[in-house]
């Protein structure tokens, strides 16, 4: 049942191309404008580049979060998904994976372009790629928790941001620290391990509990 739900989510998203393209454009615009606004100061750019990358990635992920469960809730599909003879966490996992494939994976694919725009060396680019690989799925899982709590609200976008942005901060801190360490030729295994632990801790069953509470 995981694959059919994943395929369904990807097909629906492809029909609404703007919801896929807009976060990517936002990410690229932020990455492009920061170097232009700073000017020819490579040392300053090197200091703030990790923060630029991850703030842009975080906000790009946030742009597409609301539709994770919104459309299914509005047309009644969410209730039908809850009645399927499969564990609901598996269904939510498929939806979260689809969200990551549409928002997180493209950011990883764009990482060579990011490295070019921000003048990263190979070690720093590798750190950016690894932190995005571990961090962006975490953003999707945390976002699923917030969306499941606000899915029944008419204007839940602002509340969604207030709920999940504080939860994003640890990912932001450890990811940027890993990139900083890589730029100074320091080991980043510890930071990656922490990001992996955060990813493991954001389990889908939390979103499942939140949905049951929201529906109740």
What pLDDT shows up at residue 7?
86
Is the pLDDT at 122 greater than 50? The verdict is yes
What pLDDT shows up at residue 43?
78
What pLDDT shows up at residue 85?
72
Is the pLDDT at 214 greater than 50? The verdict is no
Higher-pLDDT residue of 56 and 205 is 56
What pLDDT shows up at residue 37?
80
Is the pLDDT at 194 greater than 90? The verdict is yes
CB 165 within 8 A of CB 143: no
Q: Could you read off the pLDDT of 180-189 as tens digits, one per residue?
A: 999 899 999 9
Share of the chain above pLDDT 90, in %: 30
Is the pLDDT at 125 greater than 60? The verdict is yes
Domain coordinates of the chain in residue numbers? 2-215
215 backbone φψ class: left, alpha, beta (φ>0; ψ -120 to 50): alpha
């Amino acid at each position: 049942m995981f694959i059919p739900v994943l395929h369904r989510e990807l097909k629906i998203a492809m029909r609404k191309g703007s919801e896929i393209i807009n976060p990517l454009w936002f990410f690229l615009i932020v990455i492009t404008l920061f170097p232009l606004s700073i000017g020819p100061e490579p040392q300053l750019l090197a200091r703030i580049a990790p923060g630029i990358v991850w703030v842009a990635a975080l906000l790009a992920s946030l742009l597409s979060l609301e539709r994770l469960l919104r459309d299914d809730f509005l047309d009644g599909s969410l209730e039908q998904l809850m009645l399927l003879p499969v564990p609901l966490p598996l269904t939510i996992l498929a939806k979260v994976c689809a969200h990551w494939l549409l928002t997180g994976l493209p950011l990883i694919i764009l990482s060579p372009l990011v490295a070019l725009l921000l003048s990263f060396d190979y070690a720093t680019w590798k750190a950016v790629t690894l932190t995005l690989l571990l961090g962006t799925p975490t953003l999707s899982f945390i976002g699923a928790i917030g969306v499941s709590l606000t899915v029944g609200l008419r204007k839940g976008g602002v509340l969604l941001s207030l709920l999940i942005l504080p939860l994003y901060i640890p990912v932001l801190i450890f990811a940027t620290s890993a990139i900083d360490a890589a730029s100074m030729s320091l080991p980043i295994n510890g930071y990656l391990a922490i990001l992996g632990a955060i990813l493991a801790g954001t389990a889908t069953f939390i979103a499942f509990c939140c949905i049951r509470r929201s529906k109740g």
